[in-house]
């Protein structure tokens, strides 16, 4: 029996038992069940970032424009923006390529009332047209895209954002300075242990992510955003190796 069979509180126990071979991490049905617990216990500042995305939507989303949540998972950023947006004629387009995530995301969105329309779409964000956007969110999604495709994706997003519009991009980063990287990774692992993950869970999750999540440095992110044509680029939040940038066109 798998631990999740008796897991009624939706606690993330995915890596709690030793696995002979740790499989690559995937956003599948098993992850969907525990995702809110997994992400809040694993990403320092996650709730602050979601709240701030809501606050930024209040400032940046303009009437008769589109808003994109790319790699929406269960729609946390979409829900925060739907609360924040205070004009009527907008639509939020929430996109994810995991069918399990999209199915559950639709349930979440429909469970809450809101005046802004939301379309939840199952697609690769690399194939989605971005147009007439006043706000785009990439909250911990770019890190799962092939490195050689990242500039093209950011260029496409920049081209689809109206002047004065905003991209919020949050990522796990590395520094390329091995001393700093080791300390920040250790501090992140301390954070996970403080949130109840065992040594085994931390180690197995790290192995599972090795081939699927590839981090860039802060400088690479800033350079990519600038090259794409954003006029104002800055980090607004950082905790250990987790960072969030705003880029305004
Ligand atoms: N090419 C792709 N196309 C579409 N979706 C993708 C792609 N690659 C990965 N994803 C999706 O991006 C999401 C990344 S999680 C985002 C959290 C959310 N933003 C949140 O604010 O709660 C981050 C994390 O768990 O670390 C997953 O749902 C993937 O299926
Ligand atoms: O758990 C980790 O170590 C992370 O880097 C964050 C994370 C959170 C949820 C899914 C994938 C990665």
Residue 156, CA distances (Å) to 60, 133, 145, 164, 228 in order: 19, 11, 14, 16, 8
β-pairing verdict for 161-172 and 242-248: antiparallel
Q: How many CB atoms lie within 10 A of CB 183?
A: 14
How much distance in Å is there from the Cα of 115 to the middle of ligand 1?
25
Per-residue pLDDT tens, the chain, 249 aa: give them.
Answer: 454 455 667 999 999 999 999 999 999 999 999 999 999 999 999 999 999 999 999 999 999 999 999 999 999 999 999 999 988 799 999 999 999 999 999 999 999 888 899 999 999 999 999 999 999 999 999 999 999 999 999 999 999 999 999 999 999 999 989 999 999 999 999 999 999 999 999 999 999 999 999 999 999 999 999 999 999 999 999 999 999 999 999
Ligand 2 pocket test target in 37, 39, 42 with most atoms within 8 Å of CB: 42
**Using an 8 Å Cβ cutoff, are 95 and 72 in contact?**
yes
**Total-model pTM:** 0.97
Please give the Cα distance from 247 to 249 (Å, whole number).
7
What are the residues whose beta carbons fall under 8 Å from the beta carbon of 179, sequence distance 6 or more? none
- Ligand 2 atom closest to Cα of 242? 5
């Amino acid at each position: 029996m798998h631990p999740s069979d008796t897991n009624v509180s939706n606690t993330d126990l995915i890596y709690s038992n030793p696995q002979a071979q740790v499989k690559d991490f995937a956003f599948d049905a098993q992850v969907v069940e525990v995702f809110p617990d997994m992400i809040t216990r694993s990403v320092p500042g996650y709730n602050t970032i979601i709240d701030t995305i809501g606050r930024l939507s209040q400032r940046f989303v303009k009437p008769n424009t589109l808003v994109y949540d790319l790699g929406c998972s269960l729609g946390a950023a979409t829900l925060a923006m739907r609360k924040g947006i205070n004009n009527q004629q907008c639509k939020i387009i929430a996109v994810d390529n995991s069918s399990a995530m999209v199915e559950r995301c639709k349930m979440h969105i429909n469970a809450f009332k809101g005046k802004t329309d939301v379309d939840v779409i199952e697609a690769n964000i690399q194939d989605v047209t971005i147009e007439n956007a006043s706000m785009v969110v990439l909250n911990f999604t770019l890190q799962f895209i092939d490195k050689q495709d990242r500039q093209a994706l950011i260029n496409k997003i920049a081209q689809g954002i109206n002047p004065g519009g905003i991209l919020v991009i949050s990522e796990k980063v590395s520094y390329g300075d091995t001393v700093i990287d080791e300390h920040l990774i250790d501090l992140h692992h301390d954070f996970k242990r403080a949130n109840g993950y065992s040594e085994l869970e931390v180690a197995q999750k790290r192995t599972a992510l090795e081939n699927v999540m590839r981090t860039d440095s802060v400088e690479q992110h800033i350079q990519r955003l600038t090259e794409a044509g954003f006029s104002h680029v800055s980090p607004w939040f950082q905790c250990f190796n987790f960072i969030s940038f705003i880029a305004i066109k």
